[in-house]
Amino acid sequence: MAFLNTARRQLLGKRVCAPSAARFSTTPLARTTSVTLKALGLDSYNLGVYDGAWSGNGDVAESINPATGEVLGAVQQASASDLDKTLQRAVKAARVWREVPAPKRGEIVRQMRNALFAKIEPLGKLVALEMGKILPEGIGEVQEYIDIADYAVGLSRMLNGSVIPSERPGHMMMEVWNPLGVVGVISAFNFPVAVYGWNSAISLVCGNSVVWKGAPSTGLTSVAVTKILAEVLETNGLPGAICSLAAGGADIGQAIAQDRRVNLVSFTGSTNVGRKVALATQERFGKSLLELGGNNAIIVHRDADIDLAVRSILFAAVGTAGQRCTTTRRLFLHEEIHDDFIARLIKAYGQIKVGNPLEAGVLCGPLHTRAAVGNFEQGIADVKAQGGKILHGGNVLRSLPGNFVEPTITSIAHDAPVVHREIFAPILHTIKFATIEQAVQWNNEVGQGLSSSLFTTSPEQMFRWVGPAGSDCGIVNINIPTNGAEIGGAFGGEKETGGGRESGGTAWQQYMRRQTCTINYSGSLPLAQGIKFE
């Protein structure tokens, strides 16, 4: 793969710290990468700032294939001045976009949906190459953006307010919703397409412009998605800055959180960083939408369908190599079924194929970074140090070239510190319980509150689980895994998960300004509460 030559550097007129061309492989996988990039309008070097025009004056970030360690390409990120210019244009674009009727905005999102669908295979393959999830999950992630775009198109005709009875004669009260302005989206590496899709599709039909900062390690995907959306905007004669991109690291994310021109900051990532984003946004009285950590549990009661539960847990704990916010990390098993269930689960784990995510039959790809492998190793060491046992796995697969680890099952106490810490890797802690009340208490005792599931055939236990004394999570499931949420329901969690909600339900209201309006057509001035001021 040819890299940036001297003449092109001079033409661009910027300082570029480019990686060596020798680092790019000429293997069949590299040829697959080249074909995939070309299908998406990408090159080995790409500008990472879009506000109607492409630019970039910040550092160059390499994109590394986590399955091989090979360089896929590079993105020239935003500088502070790039972000300032992008926000200026996004503010102007928002003023244009908010005047477009909501159903017409929905039509533009429909065209974006179709453009994404036309590129679903190469875009899904790029997700697999750059993030590391298996190809069916990569394509499924793009499909998730397509689905939420479908939802948003329908929503564009349903941004309804309400009429409120007034106590004053000759008065009318109503509640209306108007666009916020600029929405900043800071998304994480593990869902480099879908998380932005959840936010942008709904933000757009609500009348906002969007400024996106994706994860630096998945910058190629951010550029590819933005190119698809930009073409739709340009074809319709609309400002490209409606869907702006400012690729960058923590400095760009911090600047977005602190900038008063950004009316809402939607952040997906760790609890620690989310806390900083929330504080920075709140300090200027901006709005924040947080989707943070998850330490999700499945409870399997003694009356559960065991085969169904085993199949569910396999995907929930191992899918995406444990790198989903909704990954199952804790498994509570009733003492009467515990031993048999563990035997079945270990047998199922033994059939999992770990390897290159583009290879057919592989169910578990690599961890995204070498640092994640280190976190996995530390987690295994902590399990052993805190009295736990490794029932299956527990090893780094050093015979493979990338960041591969064994999907792991442990047996450990419910209150061990390592159990209360989210390790973004395929480590499943199993715990035996005696009563359902005990299991529910243990489900709720961690700081995070994203997703939870109960496997049972008892109607009584089902309704207790979803009631006030049941799970304290934002997502409460019965007889399905903790992951795989549908776009029709609001997605998000409580406690250290941040309290934000994306996708369905009334999540759209977060992207709009709520107003109570009173109209006096009586010709007199009666005051509320019968007050006389004469």
Half-sphere exposure of 12 (CA within 13 A, CB side): 18
d(CA 83, CA 486): 34
Largest Cα separation within the chain, whole Å, is 88
Q: In the structure encoding, which two tokens stand for residue 334, read together?
A: 């009733």
- Give CA–CA dist 203/261, Å, rounded: 16
Which stretch of DSSP H or E encloses residue 289? strand 287-291
Give the single-character DSSP code of 322. Answer: G
Q: Is 250 in contact with 61 (CB distance < 8 Å)?
A: no
Residue whose C-alpha is closest to residue 66's, from 162, 180, 192: 192
Nearest to 74 by CA among 28, 32, 43: 43
Catalytic residue, chosen from 206, 243, 325, 364, is 325
Instruction: Sheet containing 296-300: give its strands across.
Output: 389-392, 408-411, 427-433, 328-334, 296-300, 451-455, 475-478
3-state secondary structure of 477: strand
SS3 annotation, 326-359 = CCEEEEEEECCCHHHHHHHHHHHHCCCCECCCCC
Q: Residue 289 region, left (φ>0) first, then alpha (ψ -120 to 50), else beta? A: beta
How far is residue 309's CA from residue 477's CA, in Å, rounded to a whole number?
Answer: 12
C-alpha 429 chain-centroid distance: 24
Q: Which two tokens stand for residue 436?
A: 């359902």
Place of tokens 């689905």: 147
206 in catalytic set: no
Distance, CA of 408 to CA of 390 (rounded, Å): 7
Name the strand (E) or helix (H) holding 226: helix 219-235
Among the options 291, 422, 496, 502, which is catalytic?
Answer: 291
Please report, for the chain, how many H helices and E strands are present, in that order. 15, 24
Measured at the CA of 13, the angle between CA 9 and CA 14, to 5 degrees, comes to 80
Q: Which residues are catalytic?
A: 291, 325
